[in-house]
Each structure stands twice: as C-alpha cells, then as structure tokens.
C-alpha cells in the first residue's frame, strides 16, 4: 500500500502531551511517521545537510569540533538577534521541508503522519496536511511527565508551556483530538478508531 498519496495527518500537541507515544501506536497499526523534529536535528549534526550552509553564513565558529552546529553558541546568538534567527531559519526551514517531503514520498504505510510540535504556529504545516490531530492533556500531567523524563524543574517546564501556543488555540484548529489523560493502554481504542477513519479517507483520496 502506498502512503505518498494526497492524504496526510499533522500530529501536534504541547510538550510532553504524548505525541511520540501516540505516533508509535499509529505506526504499529500501519501508518508511516515522519518525525519533523528528528529531521531538523539531523540537519545540524555532523555531516548534516545544513552544516556547509551554516558555516558559509555564520563562519567556522558556528560549527564545533565534532562537525555539528554549535548549538549553545547559536542559541545564544539567535536569542539576542531576531535577524540572525531569521537567517538561520532561512537555511533550516527549506531543508526540513525538503527532507520531510522525501520521507513522505518514500513512505510505504497506509498513510503519512507528520509529527510537528509547532504545527499550529506554522502556516506551512497547517496548509500541508489534510487533517490535524491534536494530543490534548491537562497541564498538570504535562508537567509531571516532562519533569520525570528530563529532570527539568517545574519552573523550567512551565516556562516552555507558557511559550507554546495555548491548549485552546490548538484545539480550535483540530479535526481530531486524542485526550491523553489516562494510561497508555487506554489510548488503544481511540487510536484504532482514528486509524480506521484515516485508512478510509486515504483510500478515498487516492480514488480507491
């Protein structure tokens, strides 16, 4: 079955809401997942497709001894300078899109799910996908899960949540919602239901 067809899902949600967990459940059922964050990270790792352009634009000090982008240095610089941030994004964003499209065209699952943490904030992604699936969960659970996973303090996680789009904004653009406020086992029925729907819609979009 080809996944590269016209139909695709954009999966999004706040930090620690459960996107990766839920993407894994869809993958088990036959969807192909394109992880946009993993693709973005790969671009700035040693040998990554953005490294030469970053060196040319920002100088050799933008690249560390391992050949990766010097993340800390660039983070500080783009934090202080909007123009610099735009220049870095000007290199990264087209490459992210290109590699995501390549991954989607190589997909062999029933349909493609793009996992995009900042989908609601990014017009390109909102237009690119056929349907938006939002993983929603109470802030209290996001806090608990991210603190357990990363060792970050409550204040650090709260600051990240505050900088992201709000739950209400995310829900306002959702075609489908999975509420991830129980245990992982309790997600199966909802994932089954949506997977069946997505298979039907993908087949219809491909004219089958």
Binding site for ligand ATP (CB under 6 A): 13, 15-21, 117, 145, 149, 180, 182-184
Q: Cβ-count burial of 28 within 10 angstroms (0-12 exposed, 13-18 middle, 19+ buried)?
A: exposed
Kindly give, in sequence order, each residue whose CB lies less than 8 Å from that of residue 3, ignoring residues fewer than 6 positions away: 31, 32, 104, 107, 108, 109, 110, 111, 112, 202
Q: How far is the CB of 150 from ligand ATP (least distance, A)?
A: 8
CB 149 → ligand ATP: shortest distance, Å? 4
For 160, the token pair is 């990240």
Shorter beta-carbon distance to ligand ATP: residue 38 or 106: 38
In the bound state with ligand ATP, the residue whose beta carbon lies nearer, of 149 and 200, is: 149
Q: Decide whether 33 or 88 has the Cβ nearer to ligand ATP.
A: 33
Q: Which two tokens stand for residue 127?
A: 């237009």
Angle at 160 (CA atoms; ends 154, 161), nearest 5 degrees? 85
- Nearest approach, Cβ of residue 123 and ligand ATP (Å): 20
| Nearest residue to 90 via CA among 118, 55, 54 | 54
Nearer to ligand ATP (CB atom), residue 48 or residue 117: 117
Of the pair 71, 86, the CB lying nearest ligand ATP is at 71
Q: What's the token pair of residue 111?
A: 């349909």
- Of the two residues 80 and 189, which places its CB atom closer to ligand ATP in the complex? 189
Q: At its nearest, how many Å lie between ligand ATP and the CB of residue 5?
A: 26
- The least CB distance from residue 115 to ligand ATP, in Å, is 8
**60 CB contacts (<8 Å, ≥6 apart)?**
none
CB of 169 to ligand ATP, least distance (A): 16
Strand-by-strand arrangement of the 32-35 sheet: 32-35, 112-115, 8-13, 131-136, 176-179
Cα separation, 25 vs 198, whole angstroms: 14
């Amino acid at each position: 079955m080809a996944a590269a067809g016209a139909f695709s899902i954009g999966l999004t949600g706040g930090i620690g809401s459960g996107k990766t967990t839920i993407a894994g459940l869809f993958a088990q059922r036959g969807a192909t997942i394109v992880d946009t964050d993993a693709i973005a990270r790969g671009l700035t790792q040693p040998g990554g497709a953005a490294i030469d352009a970053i060196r040319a634009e920002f100088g050799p000090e933008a690249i560390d001894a391992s050949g990766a982008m010097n993340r800390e240095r660039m983070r500080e610089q783009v934090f202080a300078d909007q123009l610099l941030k735009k220049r870095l994004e000007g290199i990264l964003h087209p490459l992210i899109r290109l590699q995501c499209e390549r991954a989607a065209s190589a997909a062999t699952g029933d349909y493609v799910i793009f996992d995009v943490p900042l989908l609601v904030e990014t017009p390109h992604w909102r237009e690119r996908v056929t349907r938006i699936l939002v993983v929603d969960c109470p802030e209290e659970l996001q806090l608990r899960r991210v603190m357990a996973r990363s060792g970050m303090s409550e204040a650090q996680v709260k600051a990240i949540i505050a900088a992201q789009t709000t739950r209400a904004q995310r829900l306002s653009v959702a075609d489908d919602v999975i509420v991830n406020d129980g245990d992982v086992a309790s997600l199966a029925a909802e994932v089954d239901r949506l997977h069946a729907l997505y298979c039907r819609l993908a087949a219809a979009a491909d004219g089958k």
